[in-house]
Homo-oligomer: A and B are copies of this chain.
Amino acid sequence: MYFHRQELQHKATPDAPDAVYARKLQEVLGGQYGEITVAMQYGFQAWNAHIPGKYRDLLFGIGAEEMGHVEMLAVMIAQLLEDSPLGITEDAVQSDPTVAAIIGGTDVQHAIVAGAGARPVDSMGNPWQGSYITASGNLLADFTANANAEMQGRVQVARLYHMTNDSGVRDLLSFLLARDTMHQNQWIAAAAQLREEGYEDLPVPSNFPLAKEDRDVSYEYINFSNGEAAAEGRWASGATPDGKGEFSYVAEPQAGVPMPPPTHPDSRFYGTTELPNIVEKTAGAVQDAINKE
């Protein structure tokens, strides 16, 4: 169950309206790595979790916080749009090119569709979508997805920080940056603890019997480009992070195997096939089909 309190976790009021910036801020509300994504991602991971206890509790606890971040950003965007110009192109251009410039940089659906309100889209107007989230049931994989989401999110907020001078906006971003710092640390710590406690290990999924994979190529860096610098990386020699092998460097991919011959599906799929085949099939299956149908 979710309960709502008509307060915000942190102040979310700009000094002044800025419709162009409102559009940019949509990225961290409704983009691939925006707050809707993490709120939903942590929710689905919790609902699909197979273990009770501290890990699921963690997912529930953070998921609800992120819904509150969605709200703070939506409320901020609505205020940034509050005095946004209507966007009468003719007028704007004639009187003041900067007004036209501003209009050019806005999300025009903010005006036409939402009447100066926030929208569930990213900064280019693409609607948020369920395929942004990850919830596999394997928590080591999923916590790594979460760490990535918080990293990408913090990178985006850091960039947005420099795209405005509004102290009210920066105050909120400063808060979100700090929470992203926490959440990065948290998911890395949680992933480490999963390994320490023996729930999962590398490679993920760790329960799959290693004997069933082709161990000959499990630790080979195979170089499919013509550079040689990658030979110097930690991924090309030394112990592997999973503690189960040694990296090796293969400068030139092994010879491959021949392509299997092209397929010959039923001729009633009407693909283009070899000529003798066509002849045969015309006299054969297709003709039969004609006759019997």
Contact = CB atoms under 8 A, between A and B. Distances in A.
Contact of A224 (B62, B138, B207, B254): B62
Nearest to A48: B117
Given A127-B131, A138-B270, A161-B208, 9 more contacts: A7-B258, A60-B225, A60-B227, A67-B67, A79-B260, A107-B124, A111-B163, A113-B136, A207-B282
Contacts of A203: 151, 154, 180-181, 184-185
Interface in A184-211: 184-190, 192-194, 197-200, 202-205, 207-209, 211
B48 A114 contact: yes
B270 A118 contact: no
Interface string A41-70: 001100111111111111011111101101
Interface in A242-287: 242, 245, 247, 253-275, 278, 281-282, 286
Oligomeric state, in number of copies? 6
A214 B176 CA distance: 8
A158 B221 contact: no
Given A52-B262, A74-B47, A102-B93, A230 B61 contact: yes
15 contacts: A1-B5, A3-B64, A36-B40, A51-B274, A68-B224, A108-B123, A115-B136, A115-B137, A136-B271, A138-B155, A141-B148, A145-B148, A155-B204, A179-B217, A186-B235
Nearest to A111: B159
A175 B47 contact: no
A289 B178 contact: no
A212 B136 contact: no
A6 to B, nearest CB: 5
A290 B212 CA distance: 8
B81 A151 contact: no
Contacts of A190: 233-235
A55 to B, nearest CB: 8
Contacts of A70: 43
A116 interface: yes
B175 A214 contact: yes
A116 B178 CA distance: 24
B208 A270 contact: yes
Nearest to A287: B209
A262 B10 CA distance: 17
A38 B92 CA distance: 33
Interface string A80-117: 01111011111111000110111111011101111111
A164 B27 CA distance: 29
Given A148-B144, A275-B197, A269 B20 contact: no
B7 A4 contact: no
A265 B136 CA distance: 12
